[in-house]
Structure 1
Amino acid sequence: MKRTFKRGVVAALALGAVSVGALLNSGAAFAQQTIKVGWTIPAEESKYWMMKRPQEFTSLGKTYNIEWVQFQGTAPMTQALAAGALDCATQSPLALAQGVVGGNLKAYVVAQHVFEKPGSFSVYWAVKDDSPIKTIADLKGKTLSINTLGSGIYGPMAILLKQAGLDASKDIKLVEVGFALSEEALRSGRVDSAVMNQPFAARMEAKGGTRKLFSLSQQQEGIVHILEACRADFVDKNPDLAKAYVRDLTSGMQKALANRDETLKVVNEVMKAPIPVLETYLLKENDFARDPGAAPNFDAIQKMLDVYVETGMLPKKVDVSAWKNPSVVAPIK
């Protein structure tokens, strides 16, 4: 009986150890769920908060983790999404559409970072104060900068030139100049008109000697510059994980807008831009607009995609409704 009792105790202890081990392993496996997320600079404050203040979020670091991967633009992230190397990433509407049309990428738009609205900052082309260029029509035969040839801002620009009687492919010369170098290119005379984005526009305006020629808002109100997209197969296979991520993105946007002083510090830590420079524009009227819940504006995105078809940047119409998963889209609380 003693031997039988001992064997029973040993078996019970062994079973208990296995059960505890299984629970620990399953808990560890859940805690180790990791999302690979692509990001870039600038204007992703919700992500910057998640990177630099993870303790402020409900699920991040508790039920899932993020492997942050930095890129220099949205197009490389589109390729990484299509290859399955990323689960979610910052995208421009054009880059995502090109991935869908040409790369067989299937993705959902789950959140939005920045857009334009009346009164907010709008990407614009500047000229020097003493330039003879007064209207868009005066750009004929001139050299303009663009951040990347084929970037999403080309479509609205081409439409505006067309309305002024110019063909963007024939009547002007476009040269590729990064936003950070646009001001220098303009002041040195390398280009006649330079495209400006924040924070570089604020820096240039503070120095004086330049003026705005035209902005993208003249072509369309509500232009969406960057959004957040996740691979459809990732979301479909991991709906709870995807929801946790979008919930934290929603919270990140709310934190960024509610605590500007802390956001200045967070952005400084990420971008290494001095706080006095960030102070001149970040989350002010001369900055891009942000939806308080990071909600995507699908109607505005559709209008942009139609412009890209019109200007030949997309070979066929793309229906944005295929990019929406109603159960996994900001805001999620």
Structure 2
Amino acid sequence: MNRTTSRGRRTFLATLPAALAGIALPSWAKFADDQFRIGYQKAASTLVLLKAKGTLEKRLAPLGVKVTWTEFPAGPQLLEGLNVGAIDFGYVGEAPPVFAPAAGADFVYTAYEVPTPRAEGVVVAKDSPIKTVADLKGKKVAFNRGSDVHWFIIALLRKHGLDYGDIQPAYLAPADARAALERQAIDAWAIWDPFLAAAQSQGNARLLADAQGVASHHQFFLSQREYAQKRKDVIAITMDELGKEGQWIRQNVGVAAAQLAPIQGLDAATIQTGLQHYEHVYRPIDAAVLDEQQRIADTFHELKLIPRKITTKDAVLA
């Protein structure tokens, strides 16, 4: 490991107490043959339903593998959990896999969801004078730092003749950002579904722009490198079950929304809107999607949002 990477890893680990506060992590043991530790976010509907139904546990039981689940508030924290060995597998958006390796994290891309650009957007208050993306110049825009909407807001600004330095970023978690928008402490909020759908249906928010024509909004399944090398069978079974669950959601979106409502704490109609913005179709990592990730990484480095250049292809099993 070079000095830059070593310093980055120390910085990365130094942030863990605050980033992981309140998260009940499992033992931070190293890779174990008889365990499969999954990190998920409550908004990750396919994983949430897979956990609720217990079908993965049944598939892995004959292999002597025990499944455990840990919830994270967002992708950056999930990647931190993966980096320190708290989990073996997880699901995040486009930006966390770029931020994490720049700080020394070691993981591999396993699969991705086909583009879902309608599943993220920027909202403003219904009575806001902001009518176009160009109107965001000089305004305070909230989003989760290092998450998929971090890339989205950069790409959106550039498409409309602005740059990242033209706004005032406010790094807020979803719940804090929604509260800030409602009390007019921020001017706009970049967020993903189902929070995006909830802000419009339950809050005083209107959609300014989504990611259509701006960003692919890929979602990624990532694995701890050693686990992916030694338990390819477990990873393959998991992706098979996720594919089946995704197909079931597409065919039963109303039922899926009803099942998710008590888990995600939102009404079924709002969840159904969010579900319809995702494709729930997963594919193995390929060169084209890695090239997209590389463009994101290069842009973040250009803006000095990550400390060093990274090569996304390094995060793929040989």
Q: 2:108 aligned with 1:108, yes or no?
A: yes
Q: 2:278 aligned with 1:288, yes or no?
A: yes
Segments of structure 2 that go 5 or more residues without pairing to the other structure are: 1-32
State the Cα deviation string for residues 73-95 of structure 1 (Å, max 9, x = none).
22222222222221112233322
Choose which of 307, 321, 333 in structure 1 pairs with 2:299: 307
User: What does residue 85 of structure 1 align with?
Assistant: 86
User: Which stretches of structure 1, 4 residues or more, deviate above 6 A after TM superposition?
Assistant: none
User: What does residue 256 of structure 2 align with?
Assistant: 263
Offset at residue 38 of structure 1 (A):
0.9
CA contact (8 A) 2:37 2:89 kept: yes
Alignment map for 1:17-28 (pairs within 5 Å): none
CA distance in 1, matches of 2:299, 2:212: 14
Offset at residue 294 of structure 1 (A):
4.6
Choose which of 215, 223, 234 in structure 1 pairs with 2:217: 223
CA distance in 1, matches of 2:96, 2:202: 33
Alignment map for 1:27-46 (pairs within 5 Å): 33-45=34-46
CA contact (8 A) 1:155 1:311 kept: no
Offset at residue 201 of structure 1 (A):
3.0
Q: Percent identity?
A: 20
Segments of structure 1 that go 5 or more residues without pairing to the other structure are: 1-31, 327-333
CA distance in 1, matches of 2:202, 2:54: 37
CA contact (8 A) 1:268 1:274 kept: yes
Offset at residue 263 of structure 1 (A):
1.9
User: What does residue 316 of structure 2 align with?
Assistant: 324
Q: Secondary structure at the match of 2:148?
A: coil
State the Cα deviation string for residues 152-193 of structure 1 (Å, max 9, x = none).
322332343345454433x43222333345444334322222
Q: 2:245 aligned with 1:252, yes or no?
A: yes
CA distance in 2, matches of 1:301, 1:307: 10
User: What does residue 238 of structure 1 align with?
Assistant: 231
User: What does residue 74 of structure 1 align with?
Assistant: 75
Q: Secondary structure at the match of 1:68?
A: strand
CA distance in 2, matches of 1:207, 1:88: 33
CA distance in 1, matches of 2:298, 2:98: 11
Query: What TM-score do you get using the length of structure 2 for normalisation?
Result: 0.75
Measured at CA, do residues 324 and 273 of structure 1 come closer, stay the same or move farther in structure 2, by a change above 3 Å?
A: same
**Count of aligned residue pairs for this structure pair:** 282
CA contact (8 A) 2:120 2:217 kept: no
State the Cα deviation string for residues 113-151 of structure 1 (Å, max 9, x = none).
57424xxx24222233443323333223322222x2343
Q: 2:185 aligned with 1:190, yes or no?
A: yes
CA distance in 1, matches of 2:250, 2:62: 24
Measured at CA, do residues 49 and 189 of structure 1 come closer, stay the same or move farther in structure 2, by a change above 3 Å?
A: closer
CA contact (8 A) 1:135 1:213 kept: yes
User: What does residue 172 of structure 1 align with?
Assistant: 167
CA contact (8 A) 1:112 1:294 kept: yes
Measured at CA, do residues 263 and 294 of structure 1 come closer, stay the same or move farther in structure 2, by a change above 3 Å?
A: farther
Offset at residue 66 of structure 1 (A):
0.9
Query: What TM-score do you get using the length of structure 1 for normalisation?
Result: 0.72
Q: Secondary structure at the match of 1:52?
A: helix
Measured at CA, do residues 202 and 73 of structure 1 come closer, stay the same or move farther in structure 2, by a change above 3 Å?
A: closer
Q: 2:125 aligned with 1:128, yes or no?
A: yes
Letter in 2 for 1:288: Y
Measured at CA, do residues 304 and 122 of structure 1 come closer, stay the same or move farther in structure 2, by a change above 3 Å?
A: farther
